[in-house]
Amino acid sequence: MKLKRTHTCGEIAVTDAGTEVVLSGWVENKRDHGGMLFVDLKDRYGITQVVFDPQRNEALYAEGKELKPESVISIRGVVQRRPEGNVNPDRKTGEIEIIAEEVEVLNRSATPPFEIVDDCGASEEVRMKYRYLDLRRDVMRENIIFRHRVYQSMRRYLSEEGFIEVETPTLIKSTPEGARDYLVPSRKFSGRFFALPQSPQIFKQLLMIAGFDRYFQIARCYRDEDIRADRQPEFTQLDIEMTFVDEDDVIAMNEGQVRFLMKDLLGIEVGTPFKRLAFDEALKKYGLDAPDIRFGMTLVDVSDVCADAGFKVFQAVVASGGIVAGINAKGASNYSRRQLDELTAYVGEYGAKGLVWFKVEEEGGTNVLKSPTAKFFDEGRQQKIIEKTKAEAGDLLLFVADGPDVARTAVGRLRVRLARQLDLIPKNTFELCWVTEFPMFEVDEESGRLAARHHPFTSPTPATVDDLEKKPLRVRARAYDLVVNGVEIAGGSIRINTPELQRRVFKALGIGEKEAGEKFGFLIEALKYGAPPHGGIAYGFDRFVAILRGIDRIRDVIAFPKTTTAQCLLSGAPSPVDEKQLEELKLKIIRERDSSER
């Protein structure tokens, strides 16, 4: 490296005209006019145009002609104000250019597999394989730099609020509940394994017991479950825990933080306090526990109207404890048969067995329901449905009859899908709300046992704690989720801080004294020694960054993400390992017969 850079490619201005500079960067683009050659030189900070003029220096012009896109070079030259009429107003450095005097090619680039431009058109597969090139694109670089700003804002805010950043271990004890663990074999103890943490949960509680009072960590977490657009096998949490607090304290602190972050990162003022919705209310009105409250179209329950109407399908569902839930898609009565079939297929994905629709039409001065199903509803019932759904002529009513969970989920999803289709969602707004009063437990379909809805360290509410033994499904948790535009971005709870209550909750979960001792003995033990009341929250950091940037996939805000099969296309991980490594760990790979024949 002969030439040492004096400036970056984004900072030279007209006031620098006449000075000699050295720039280093990548060849973004080359425009050769025969008698004049322009090279755009790019680095993280910007793009500067370099001019090669054969009349000034023919040999240098010849060198410039040989420059390949994406090569790294250094240029020595003199800053010049661009001739009149040649200013590029779209570029920060568009008023100046560099007259090249010397070029040093630091590393000539092979032809890249795709063009390094925002609209590169390359598939995600190719982009992930060549992620270092993908990250050279402006959008991706800005995503990553924005992410950096989010880290810094969080750290600044929390530090000023008295929170201490502490790292917790990533080689930890595997616990039975929750997601599947990623396991790491121990060499010193063959046959034993560490797990990678699904969250720093227990350790942050131990920090509270240790008296740190206020803790945070930007922590990597690992869950070996199937991937989605908003889920990665390893992801980042902003993890927070506080002592001597109740729900309102944690909520207030986080409202302050989110308000600060929105202002600091986006310049947006959000009002506090945020709306609060009880879990039951969220389900009834929106069908989902992460409601998108940017628009209305709330769910309507017409079970009572359908209970004794002539429509057998609905009757049977209501008779067996199900419900008939629906929504009013305003002005959508022009939906075609094909569109309705698509919506039916869509609710089918969430387990609904069908979708009943009515088009609302005016007939002789009154509104009536039109559809193949309408004949099963007499005039009185039709009017009740119209009344309940606040329907007007031109509306489309859609209903799902099923068990309460399936019906609400299906209609809740349908609501969001229709809102997108009908363009009901306001752009560039953030609607934040807290969902509270979650049930402590839910029935695990596979085992039929109770499972913690949040996690087994969540405290029940005082009002429902005594239902733990007899009516556990009625017990409510001191838990809260923060939902932004229908996306859950944070969740937390007030924790259990006595061994007695912790044992009762474990028992309700079917975790016996002995098992609890083996798996969580260290926590129960710790709760004996002056464990203070405490609670906290964890943000899905990647999701939070993504939603602030207005994108719905977290891969684009992660520098090196994994695919939906949890592989790294760049490095090829996971990969087989040497036999010697397995021997050291005393591990043997059992090959399935089928796969060995491949």
- Of 327-386, binders to RNA (CB under 7 A) are 349-351
Maximum C-alpha span of the chain = 93
**Least distance to RNA, CB of residue 31, Å:** 4
Residues 40-69 touching RNA, rule: CB under 7 A, are 40, 49, 51, 53, 55, 68-69
**Least distance to RNA, CB of residue 236, Å:** 14
**Least distance to RNA, CB of residue 538, Å:** 8
C-beta of 326 vs 492, nearer to RNA? 492
- Token pair, residue 297, equals 């179209």
Residues 170-189 touching RNA, rule: CB under 7 A, are 175, 177-180
Distances (CA, A) of 549 to 219, 260, 299: 21, 16, 30
Please pick, from the candidates 11, 32, 101, 361, the single residue that binds RNA as defined by CB under 7 A.
32
201 scored as a contact of RNA (CB under 7 A):
yes
C-beta of 69 vs 404, nearer to RNA? 69
Residues 106-125 touching RNA, rule: CB under 7 A, are 111, 113-115, 117, 119-125
Please pick, from the candidates 204, 284, 359, 455, the single residue that binds RNA as defined by CB under 7 A.
455
C-beta of 242 vs 385, nearer to RNA? 242
593 scored as a contact of RNA (CB under 7 A):
no
Please pick, from the candidates 107, 336, 447, 565, the single residue that binds RNA as defined by CB under 7 A.
565
571 scored as a contact of RNA (CB under 7 A):
no
> Which residues, including other chains, have CB under 8 Å from residue 525's CB and lie 6 or more apart?
499
C-beta of 35 vs 191, nearer to RNA? 35
Options 194-202, 496-504, 516-524, 583-591: segment touching RNA (CB under 7 A): 194-202
Residues 90-109 touching RNA, rule: CB under 7 A, are 90-91, 94, 97
85 scored as a contact of RNA (CB under 7 A):
yes
Q: Secondary structure of 245-285 in the HEC alphabet?
A: CCHHHHHHHHHHHHHHHHHHHHCCCCCCCCEEEEHHHHHHH
Distance of CA 284 to the CA centre of its chain: 25
C-beta of 147 vs 454, nearer to RNA? 454
End-to-end CA distance of the chain: 51
The Cα–Cα gap between 454 and 463 comes to 18
The Cα–Cα gap between 340 and 334 comes to 10
C-beta of 498 vs 567, nearer to RNA? 567
Please pick, from the candidates 21, 72, 126, 570, the single residue that binds RNA as defined by CB under 7 A.
126
> Which residues, including other chains, have CB under 8 Å from residue 249's CB and lie 6 or more apart?
242, 535
C-beta of 242 vs 397, nearer to RNA? 242
C-beta of 55 vs 107, nearer to RNA? 55
The Cα–Cα gap between 574 and 224 comes to 13
Closest CA to 239 of 213, 255, 219, 261: 219
456 scored as a contact of RNA (CB under 7 A):
yes
Residues 407-446 touching RNA, rule: CB under 7 A, are 409, 445
Host H or E run for residue 548:
helix 541-548
Strands 46-52 and 96-107: parallel
**Least distance to RNA, CB of residue 562, Å:** 7
**Least distance to RNA, CB of residue 242, Å:** 17
> Exposed, middle or buried by CB within 10 Å (0-12, 13-18, 19+), for 81?
middle
Closest CA to 279 of 65, 541, 493, 130: 493
Please pick, from the candidates 83, 462, 530, 576, the single residue that binds RNA as defined by CB under 7 A.
83
223 scored as a contact of RNA (CB under 7 A):
yes
Options 5-13, 268-276, 452-460, 518-526: segment touching RNA (CB under 7 A): 452-460
404 scored as a contact of RNA (CB under 7 A):
no
Please pick, from the candidates 159, 339, 429, 564, the single residue that binds RNA as defined by CB under 7 A.
564
Residues 231-260 touching RNA, rule: CB under 7 A, are 231
C-beta of 311 vs 438, nearer to RNA? 438
The Cα–Cα gap between 503 and 509 comes to 10
Residues 463-502 touching RNA, rule: CB under 7 A, are none
C-beta of 376 vs 560, nearer to RNA? 560
C-beta of 330 vs 534, nearer to RNA? 534
Instruction: Report H helices in 13-96.
Output: 58-65
- Token pair, residue 454, equals 């949040």
> Which residues, including other chains, have CB under 8 Å from residue 235's CB and lie 6 or more apart?
220, 221, 223, 540, 541, 542, 554
> Exposed, middle or buried by CB within 10 Å (0-12, 13-18, 19+), for 90?
exposed
Which of the 8 DSSP states describes residue 183?
A: E
Closest CA to 478 of 217, 248, 206, 208: 248
Please pick, from the candidates 229, 252, 316, 577, the single residue that binds RNA as defined by CB under 7 A.
229
Distance of CA 322 to the CA centre of its chain: 32
Residues 260-299 touching RNA, rule: CB under 7 A, are none
C-beta of 61 vs 358, nearer to RNA? 61
**Least distance to RNA, CB of residue 55, Å:** 5
**Least distance to RNA, CB of residue 116, Å:** 10
Residues in contact with RNA, counted by CB under 7 A, come to a total of 74
Cβ neighbours around 170 below 10 Å, total: 16
Token pair 């990623």: residue? 182
C-beta of 326 vs 456, nearer to RNA? 456
